[in-house]
Structure 1
Amino acid sequence: MSHNLQQSHQQDIQTITQVLAKITNRTPAQIKPLLNAMLKRLIEPQQRPFYETATPTEWSIAFQEWVDSPRTLNLPTL
């Protein structure tokens, strides 16, 4: 999908790259990878966070895994 977007809007993307290069004092070669990454994040479907999609059972399992995980701090048990 990203490749298709780049082909269909090549002139717009080039213009945006030039404008960003001008206002950031970076070269178009430096801007292009950053712009591509941003476009990819914008067009890909976003995965909903765990707290929005987890069932009560999944919450319970995740909590138990957290409880059983090793502690990195040397804190007393409550």
Structure 2
Amino acid sequence: MTQNRVAGNSQNLEDNKEDLEVITQVLVRMTNLTPEQIQPHLDYMVERLRELKQTPSYKTTPEERARAFREWASSHDRNTLLLSDYAVSRESIYDDERL
């Protein structure tokens, strides 16, 4: 990828189609997923990176930052296993010292 192609503000996905295809193929080899499985994630990442580039967080309002945080939080899988209460307790941190 050339620096000029990456740096352009008004470029859309079509302008970087070849680069995105190369990235997709690299991710296919790295993850053993199909291009169809990778594409939505890659599209999302590209869009988020463009949004970050457009407006630095220090130039946004508290409401915009809160909205962005909620969007980020809701983008995570809600079925992720959580740690038990014991795993995050003080007792579990110092458990080995009692030996």
Q: Match for residue 26 of structure 2?
A: 19
* Residue correspondences, number: 49
Deviation >3 Å, runs of 4+ = none
Report the alpha carbon displacement of residue 20 of structure 1 after superposing the two structures with TM.
Answer: 0.2
* TM superposition score normalised by structure 2: 0.43
Instruction: Report the Cα distance in structure 2 between the residues aligned to 1:47 and 1:20, rounded to whole angstroms.
Output: 28
Q: Taking every aligned residue pair, what percent have the same amino acid on both sides? A: 39
> Following the alignment from structure 2 to structure 1, what is the Cα–Cα distance between the partners of residues 55 and 34?
30
What do you get for the CA RMSD once the two structures are aligned? 2.2
Q: Which runs of 5+ in 1 are unaligned?
A: 55-78
Instruction: State the structure with more CA Rg.
Output: 1
1:30 alignment counterpart: 37
Q: Could you list the runs of 5+ residues in structure 2 that have no partner in the other structure?
A: 1-10, 63-99
Partner of 2:57: 48
DSSP 3-state at the match of 2:57 = coil
The structure, 1 or 2, with the larger RCO (C-alpha pairs under 8 Å, 6+ apart) is 1
2:46 aligned partner, one-letter code: L
